[in-house]
């Protein structure tokens, strides 16, 4: 659709992403006069850009499929799996991201279901040592930046602050990666840590909410406030091993009015 704004004879037109039934693009003609003109124009454009952004964000989220626990399949230009565990309907992966060697994140049997001739598995050395099958593997530690299969990836720290299940000394990781035009943060098994304030330009944050081994829903809310994802914060790490949907619901409720926090259905 096109928007035309008239103000004392000065006209401006600009395209807006969107459409209407039958493929026809309606036109809006807005005329503002008076001392509040500037404020009205700013408000209108803010609303319109919000609509465009919401539509784009919705399309982004359609490519993110939650497979339970910390497992996601992200589709689009590439097929990316995260921490595959108890995968029900495997499809070949381009990239597999594994955060650490615990059995519910590093599951060789599940990885083997997803590995094809060109699949690249990105993981920590202690997880890679468990693979007894042929695979292309890149081992990582926190603080690295690289590109695999056309996907830019950064590794970040993931650790516990008030428990010992995930010691920082293990050098286990979270990931920030770009796919389908968005930057996704996969937290891994972590508590609410100060480094989260340094993560820049995150579109979608995938964060644990169960407590016990990782941060609680309430701590995850504070983490998201630091991370400031532009599109959504998606809860994970519940429903298997530890945590329930109630944790995800508390998380979503605590972020109402701050950022979209959809609770995805397990696939």
Least confident range from 41-50, 189-198, 218-227: namely: 41-50
Q: Which domains does the chain show, CATH number per domain?
A: 2-59 (no CATH), 64-254 (3.60.15.10)
Sign of CA dihedral 201, 207, 211, 212: negative
Strand order in the sheet with 27-31: 10-15, 2-7, 27-31
Give the Cα separation of 63 and 76 in Å (integer).
7
Give the Cα separation of 95 and 80 in Å (integer).
5
Residue 267 has pLDDT above 80, yes or no: yes
Query: CB–CB of 81/114 below 8 Å?
Result: yes
Q: What is the pLDDT of residue 174?
A: 98
Query: pLDDT category, 58, cuts 50, 70, 90?
Result: low
pTM: 0.80
* 217-227 helix and 245-254 helix, angle to the nearest 10 degrees: 40
Give the Cα separation of 61 and 76 in Å (integer).
11
218-235 per-residue burial string, b: 16 or more CB within 10 A, e: under 16: ebbbebbbebbbbbbbbb
**Structure confidence by residue, pLDDT tens digits, 27-51:** 444 444 555 544 444 444 444 444 3
Task: Report, as an integer, the average pLDDT of 238-255.
Answer: 96
């Amino acid at each position: 659709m096109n928007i035309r704004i008239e103000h004392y004879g000065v006209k401006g037109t600009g395209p807006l992403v969107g459409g209407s039934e039958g493929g026809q693009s309606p036109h809006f003609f807005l005329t503002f006069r008076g001392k509040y003109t500037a404020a009205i124009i700013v408000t209108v454009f803010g609303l319109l850009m919000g609509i465009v952004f919401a539509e784009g964000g919705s399309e982004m989220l359609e490519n993110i499929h939650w497979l339970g626990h910390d497992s996601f399949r992200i589709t689009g230009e590439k097929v990316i799996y995260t921490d595959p565990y108890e995968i029900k309907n495997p499809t070949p992966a381009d990239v597999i991201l594994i955060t650490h060697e615990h059995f519910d994140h590093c599951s060789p049997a599940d990885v083997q279901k997803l590995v094809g001739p060109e699949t690249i598995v990105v993981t920590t050395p202690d997880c890679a040592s468990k693979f007894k099958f042929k695979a292309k593997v890149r081992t990582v530690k926190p603080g690295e930046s690289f590109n695999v299969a056309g996907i830019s990836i950064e590794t970040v720290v993931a650790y516990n602050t008030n428990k010992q299940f995930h010691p920082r000394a293990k050098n286990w990781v979270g990931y920030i990666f770009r796919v389908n035009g968005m930057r996704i943060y996969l937290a891994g098994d972590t508590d609410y840590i100060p480094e989260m304030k340094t993560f820049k330009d995150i579109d979608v944050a995938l964060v644990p909410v169960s407590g016990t081994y990782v941060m609680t829903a309430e701590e995850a809310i504070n983490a998201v406030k630091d991370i400031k994802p532009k599109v959504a914060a998606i809860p994970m790490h519940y429903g298997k091993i530890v945590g329930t949907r109630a944790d995800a619901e508390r998380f979503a409720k605590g972020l109402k009015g701050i950022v979209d926090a959809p609770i995805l259905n397990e696939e």
